[in-house]
Amino acid sequence: MSAAPSSGPGGFGTRLPVRFAPRDVELPGLGTMRLVETTVLVLVGLLLAVATVDDVVLETHVNQRLVADLRTWREYTGHDYKNLSVEQDLRGHTTRDVICGNTSPGPPKERTQLCLAMTGPVVAGRREARSGWYLPPKSEDLRGKRYGCFGVAKDEGLCSP
Amino acid sequence: MSVAAQSVASAPRVRSGRWAPALAGALALLLVAAAAEIVLDGAAGHSALIPKSPAIAGWLSGVGERLGYRVFLIALLVSVGAYSGLLALARRRELSPISKRSAIALIGALHLIVFVGPILLSTDVFSYIAYARMGVEHGLNPYLHGPSSILGDPVYSYVGKDWKHVATAYGPFYTLLSYPLAPLGVTGALWGMKLEALLASVGTLALTWRCARAREIDPVWAILVVGANPLYVIYGLGGAHNDLIMLVAMMGAVSLTLVAPGSRGREAGAAGLIVAGALVKATMAALLPFMIVSRRRLAPILGALAMLVLGVVVGYAAFGIHGIDVVSALNRDAAFVSTDSFANEIAHLFGKPGVFPIDHDFLKAGLVLIVLHLLWRTWRGYDWIAAAGWSLLAISVTSTWLLAWYILWPLPLAAVSRDRRLLLATLAVQALFVMHQITPLLAPVS
C-alpha cells in the first residue's frame, strides 16, 4: 500500500520524497516497527526488573548483616545501646562493617567509643568480630584518632602509630 | 442469533457483572483506608518517612502511631494492589463498575485526606519555601545562594540536609509563583504550597478528562489512572511537589491541541504553555519538539518563541543571568545519584559499586537515541502525545537521580495517548520503583 504523504496545510516537509515526507497519521503497515519496539521494550523491562530484584536482594542481605552486626556489638560489649554508628563498605562491596558505640552511657559519640570490625557470614544472627579499636570522645572513625587496636586491626596497622 | 438465544447468552454476563460495582467499591475503600492510615500515622510526628515540619496536622495526631516503614510499605502495597484492580475493572466498560460520580468521589476523598495531613516523604516543599523567603524576606537571589545563606530563618531547620547549600534548579516562573507565599510565614507558606499542589492536581485531572473525551477514551478511566495512582497521591500530592504544577501546564497544552485541532492560535498557545511549563520545571521542554514536529507549522514555533522571550525577560529582570541559565542547573542535577535510580541498580547488577561519570555519558547517549527515534516516528505520523510521554519516561528511567514524583511525568499523557504500551510501561516502571522500596519490610533494622 502506498498512500500519499500528508501534512497540514502549509506544513513543513511536504516536498520531501515520499519515504521521508511527514505524515499526519501513521500508515497501518506490517507492524514490523511496532514489533521491534515492543521487543526492545520487553527486553529493557526485563533488565530493569532483574536489576530491581537483584538490588532488593542485595539490600536485604545488607540489612540482615547490619542487624547481625548491631546484635554482635551489643552482646560483645554487654551494652544494649540503640545509637550505634555503622560504616558499611559500600564502595568496595566487601562484607566488612565497622560498628562504633560508647563504652559507657551518654549521648552518641560523647564517651570513649569501641569500634568492632565485623566480617564473614551471618551465623545464628551474629557475625565474627575479629578486630577493633577505640576512639576518644567526640571523634569520628578516622585512622589518626584510633588507638588500642586489637586482633587483625593491630596486625594491619589500622591505628595511628 | 435469535432474541431468545441472545437473552440466554447475555444473562450470565449480567449476573457476572453484578459483582463488579461491589468489588470496585471495596477496592476504592482499600485505597482510601491505606491513604488515611499513612496520613493519620504521619500526623503523629516526625519519623524516617515524615520530615520535620511545623505542626500543620496536629489536630489529627493522637489517632495513629508514628509512621514507620512497615506500616507505610504495607499501606503502599495495598494501594498499588487496589489501584491495579480498580483500573482493570474500570477498563471493562460493559460491567459499568465505576460511575463518573463514584470516580470523582474516590479521587476527591484521596485528595482531601492527603491535603489535610502532614507533608509526606520529602523535604522539597521546605526548599521551595526557603527559596521564596530568600528572595522576598532576605533580598537574596535563590539562583545564586542555597538555603544555608538564611541560617536564622525559621524555614532553614526544615530544609533537607542535602539541599542546604544548593541554589534552586526550578524555573523563574515557579520561583515567582512561590514568592507571594513567602510573607505568610512558614506555616502559611506550607498551606499555600499544599493548596497550589491540590489546585494543580484538580486542574490536571480536569484537563485529563477533557483530553480523554476529545480522543474518545473513557474519561472516568483516564482520571482514575491519574487521580487514584498511589505514587501521584501519596508522593506527589503528599509532598506538595511542584511537578504537579508542571503537569497542569502540560495537560493544558495537550488539551489546546486536541480540543480544536488545526487552530493555529491554539497551537501557538499550546506551544507557549509548554515553554511556560518548562519555566516552572525544565523537564517539560521535552514536549516541545514533538509538538512542533507533529504540527509542522509556524504557529507553534512562534508561540514557543514568544513565551521564551517573555520568560527570558521576566527571568532576567527578576534574577539576572542566573535565573535563565537552566542548562547549568540541569547539568548540576544530572550528576546526582539516588539509590532508587535504575542506573544505580543496573550498576549493582554488574558488580559495580555505583554509577561512574562514563555511565552518565552512556545514559545521555541512550536518551538522545530514544528521542531521535521518537521524533522520526512523530514525523511519520505517530501520536506526538505518546512520543512525548515516552520521552518523559525515558528521561526518568535513564536519570541517575530518580524520585517517585519523576515517574508521574508521563502518567497523564499515557492516560490519553493512543499507544496503550505507554501506560503499561509507565505503570510497570512505577511498580518496579515500589518494589525497590520494600527492603525494610523484608529485613527491618532495629
Cβ contact B297–A58 (<8 Å)? no
Nearest to B296 among A13, A56, A70 (CB): A13
Reported as a pLDDT band with limits 50, 70 and 90, residue B191 is: very high
C-alpha triplet B88, B90, B91: angle, nearest 5°: 65
Q: What is the pLDDT of residue B95?
A: 67
Nearest to B345 among A23, A55, A90 (CB): A55
How many Å lie between the alpha carbon of A138 and the closest alpha carbon of chain B? 21
First to last CA, chain A: 83
> Is the dihedral angle over the CA atoms B287, B293, B298, B301 positive or is it negative?
positive
Given a contact cutoff of 8 angstroms between Cβ atoms, the answer to whether B348 and B439 are in contact is no
Residue B8 predicted with pLDDT over 60: no
- Give the type of residue at B252: G
Average pLDDT value for chain A: 84
* Whole-angstrom Cα Rg for chain A: 30
C-alpha triplet A42, A47, A48: angle, nearest 5°: 95
Euclidean distance between CA atoms B28 and A11, whole angstroms: 47
Place of cell 492527603: B114
Euclidean distance between CA atoms B138 and B150, whole angstroms: 8
Beta carbon pairs, A and B, within 8 Å: 95
Tens digit of pLDDT for each residue in B108-162? Answer: 999 999 999 999 999 999 999 999 999 999 999 999 999 999 999 999 999 998 8
Euclidean distance between CA atoms A98 and B239, whole angstroms: 35
Which pairs count as long-range contacts for A81-86, CB under 8 Å and 24+ apart, including other chains? A81/A105, A83/A107, A83/A108, A85/A109, A85/A141
C-alpha triplet B225, B434, B40: angle, nearest 5°: 80
Tens digit of pLDDT for each residue in B51-93? Answer: 999 988 888 888 888 899 999 999 999 999 999 999 999 888 7
Residues of B with CB under 8 A from a CB of A: 262, 293, 295-298, 342, 344-346, 348-349, 351, 353, 377, 379-382, 397, 421, 425, 428-429, 432, 435-436, 438-440, 442-446
Nearest to A23 among B349, B380, B429 (CB): B380
User: Looking at the complex, does the CB of residue A63 fall below 8 Å from at least one CB of chain B?
Assistant: yes
Residue A7 predicted with pLDDT over 60: no
Say which DSSP state B234 is in: I
The pTM assigned to this predicted structure is 0.87
DSSP codes, chain A: --PPP---TT-TTTTS-TTT---SS-----SHHHHHHHHHHHHHHHHHHHHHHHHHHHHHHHHHHHHHHHHHHHHHH----S--EEEE-TTTT-S-EEEEEESSSSSTTSS-EEEEEEEEEEETTEEEEEEEEEE-TT--S-GGG-EEEEEHHHHTT-S--
Given a contact cutoff of 8 angstroms between Cβ atoms, the answer to whether B303 and B267 are in contact is yes
Euclidean distance between CA atoms B142 and B156, whole angstroms: 14
- Give the type of residue at B44: A
Q: Spell out which residues of chain B touch residue A38, defining contact as CB-CB under 8 Å.
A: 421
Neighbouring CB atoms inside 10 A of B350's CB total: 8
Residue A38 C-beta-side C-alpha neighbours within 13 Å: 9
Nearest to A8 among B262, B435, B446 (CB): B262
How deeply is B120 buried, as exposed, middle or buried, from its count of CB atoms within 10 A (0-12, 13-18, 19+)?
A: buried
Euclidean distance between CA atoms B159 and B157, whole angstroms: 6
DSSP codes, B377-421: HHHTT--HHHHHHHHHHHHHHH-SS--GGGGGTTHHHHHH-S-HH
Tens digit of pLDDT for each residue in B226-268? Answer: 999 999 999 999 999 999 999 999 999 999 999 877 788 899 9
Question: Minimum mean pLDDT among A140-144, B170-174, B307-311, B427-431: which range?
Answer: A140-144
Closest CA to B212 of B415, B419, B410: B415
Q: Spell out which residues of chain B touch residue A10, defining contact as CB-CB under 8 Å.
A: 297-298
Phi, psi torsion values for B262, nearest 5 degrees:
95, -15
Tens digit of pLDDT for each residue in B107-123? Answer: 999 999 999 999 999 99
**Which chain B residue is nearest to residue A14, measuring alpha carbons?**
B296
User: Looking at the complex, does the CB of residue A66 fall below 8 Å from at least one CB of chain B?
Assistant: yes
Given a contact cutoff of 8 angstroms between Cβ atoms, the answer to whether B132 and B254 are in contact is no
Cβ contact B295–A8 (<8 Å)? yes
Looking at B69-183, which runs of residues are DSSP E strands?
none
Q: What is the dihedral of CA B435, B439, B444, B446, to 10 degrees?
A: -120
In the three-class reduction of DSSP (H, G, I as helix; E, B as strand; rest coil), residue B145 is classed as coil
How many Å lie between the alpha carbon of B380 and the closest alpha carbon of chain A? 5
The ipTM assigned to this model is: 0.88
How many Å lie between the alpha carbon of A62 and the closest alpha carbon of chain B? 9
Relative to beta strand A113-123, strand A85-88 is unpaired
Cβ contact B262–A48 (<8 Å)? no
- Give the type of residue at A159: C
